[in-house]
Structure 1
């Protein structure tokens, strides 16, 4: 609005100036101009002719100098038509108004576009921020879920491992107790069998001592007698070289073994009747019996089906 008032003021000033110039043009006095040329009318007097003068060079004619005419005054410019000046001022004012309106419209349009762009940028920034936060939240939730899952799996694995170990320990203790009970029962049974064999061997020896030794004897004591007195020692001497025991032995413990033999002397089975207290020595004795494989016949040509042998490391 301020610029419009300025333009209006300028237009009115131009209008007043045009009116003033028109008035001055009508009241200006007319100036008459005249020109004049001056010519010399005085005759030249002739000199007396005394003698004939020498011919003189004819001087070149001097060009006649004419006076410079006075400068013509510049005619005044025609005064502008007041109506035309007013119309031009109004046209300029209207054009200025149109330009101002156009600039104002362009300004408003630019401001609107800038505001819309700013709003769109702000909305996009808000959307981008929300999308980023949503993505980060989903990522954090996924990581937490994976971490919780891994932790749960770890705890479950540890729980199963503990339960498995407890079950294994329980079964191991149960098996150990069963083996111990079985070993105790077997040991008692072996001791009972060993005692029975001793009693049987003792009876056989006693029968041999009381039996008739003649060739024509008809008693049954000789036929039912046990192995000879030296047979057990012979078998121990045959087996002992096969014993391999690398460790150091404390004391001289005795391992008592029951051996069952086929009629041809082939060893059928062997087992510890009475342990020496040293498991390594017991196993070394059993391996030596297995390595021997076959027993020789006794002095009577027979092989006792069952015989109990004792082994001491220092014997």
Structure 2
């Protein structure tokens, strides 16, 4: 392959054998001069004598005659050696020119081929560069997609973690709320149990006091088997126990307490006993459940009904008993 050199212009190829051609031409000219010299000498040499008999007629002077036309002189033919040398040199020149033209054509063909090869190489390089750029862009796009997928997965995991954490927090809050509610319920239950225990103790104490007063009253009356005014029978909205009451006092208590009962649940088997302490004027000083029905809702409704019945009615003597019990059942 002929490398293209842009620094030097295109020059015709250098002919070879110049000195050989020059020597050959000099020899040919010497031979030509030799043959020319001897040819001229040969033509100038005097030929040997020859005898000839000439007959001349006397022209008739009376008849004019035209002179004979001159004989044309044929040009001397060129020497064969000179023509051969000229033809040889012309042929050689033509061959050299043809060789030079062929060499120039070959150079042009080689240059064109080189230009085509360089263009093809450049095209291949550009194609390779384009393919590399496409591969790089595809790899970058793939990497970007992977990064986006990783970010999406990370975000999803973070969201799941946040949801789990939120659920755990909600569960913990629910547990705390349940624990607090249970604690509150336990506290209320304990307070209620304590209140019931205190009410039972108070009722027991009041019952003991009542029995002591009854025994004292019976002893002062002088009749061992005698009874006092008696106790009110228990019933819905009735009162019993505590200080002595008249036979109609239970009805008075029932008429006061019963309108204040608000209950819409079951009615069978429910009975609640409430211990009451009042001032002589009927002001309700204390009301506690001394015997539960087993249904806390009914117990609370019964206790609220008693508390709403403040003040309690007075007995026939114009005073309210200081302590007594009210047995409440829901109206069936």
* TM-score for the superposition, normalised by structure 2: 0.54
Query: Counterparts of 2:109 and 2:331 in 1: how far apart (Å)?
Result: 133
Query: Counterparts of 1:174 and 1:88 in 2: how far apart (Å)?
Result: 124
Q: Which of 228, 244, 251 is equivalent to 2:262? A: 244
**What's the CA shift for 1:101?**
3.6
Render the CA deviation track for 1:241-279: whole Å, top value 9, x for unaligned: 33233333223x431112344554343543212112233
Within 5 A, what are the aligned runs for 1:1-315?
89=98, 92-93=101-102, 96-168=105-177, 170-171=179-180, 173-207=182-216, 226-230=243-247, 231-251=249-269, 253-262=270-279, 264-313=281-330
Query: Counterparts of 2:129 and 2:177 in 1: how far apart (Å)?
Result: 70
Query: Counterparts of 1:133 and 1:108 in 2: how far apart (Å)?
Result: 36
* TM-score for the superposition, normalised by structure 1: 0.57
Conserved 8 A contact 2:279-2:285: yes
Aligned length: 224
- Go from structure 1 to structure 2 and tell me whether the alpha carbon gap of 1:234 and 1:204 turns closer, same or farther (over 3 Å shift): farther
Conserved 8 A contact 1:236-1:311: no
- Go from structure 1 to structure 2 and tell me whether the alpha carbon gap of 1:169 and 1:296 turns closer, same or farther (over 3 Å shift): closer
- Go from structure 1 to structure 2 and tell me whether the alpha carbon gap of 1:209 and 1:238 turns closer, same or farther (over 3 Å shift): farther
Query: Counterparts of 1:208 and 1:245 in 2: how far apart (Å)?
Result: 41
Render the CA deviation track for 1:2-57: whole Å, top value 9, x for unaligned: xxxxxxxxxxxxxxxxxxxxxxxxxxxxxxxxxxxxxxxxxxxxxxxxxxxxxxxx
**What's the CA shift for 1:131?**
0.9
**What's the CA shift for 1:310?**
1.9
List gaps (5 residues or longer) in structure 2: 2-89, 222-241
Query: Counterparts of 1:248 and 1:173 in 2: how far apart (Å)?
Result: 26
- Go from structure 1 to structure 2 and tell me whether the alpha carbon gap of 1:165 and 1:184 turns closer, same or farther (over 3 Å shift): same
Query: Counterparts of 2:244 and 2:310 in 1: how far apart (Å)?
Result: 19
**What's the CA shift for 1:194?**
1.0
- Go from structure 1 to structure 2 and tell me whether the alpha carbon gap of 1:97 and 1:314 turns closer, same or farther (over 3 Å shift): closer
Query: Counterparts of 1:179 and 1:241 in 2: how far apart (Å)?
Result: 28
- Go from structure 1 to structure 2 and tell me whether the alpha carbon gap of 1:194 and 1:206 turns closer, same or farther (over 3 Å shift): same
Render the CA deviation track for 1:283-309: whole Å, top value 9, x for unaligned: 332232243332222222223444322
Cα RMSD after superposing both structures: 3.7
Render the CA deviation track for 1:168-205: whole Å, top value 9, x for unaligned: 55555555555444433332222121122222233444
List gaps (5 residues or longer) in structure 1: 2-81, 213-224
